[in-house]
Amino acid sequence: MEIARQKTAPGIDYDVTAHWSSQQGLVLKTTPAAVPGSYQGTITWHLSTVPEA
């Protein structure tokens, strides 16, 4: 799932979370049968500098 795509010049920072809200960005959506509790997981980011197609 693609969360964001941004082209920037070298050395320019981009805040991927700047426009996220409670319904946008990384959101955990569960089914009504989900059991309340504490959960944890791992998110792996893959950042690449690749030539444009």
Mean pLDDT, residues 1-12 taken together: 77
Mean pLDDT, residues 39-52 taken together: 80
Quickly state the pLDDT bin for 33 (edges 50, 70, 90). Answer: very high
pTM: 0.38
Q: What is the 3-state secondary structure (H, E, C) of 3-45?
A: CCCCCCCCCCCCCCCCCCECCECCCCCCCCCCCCCCCCCCCCC
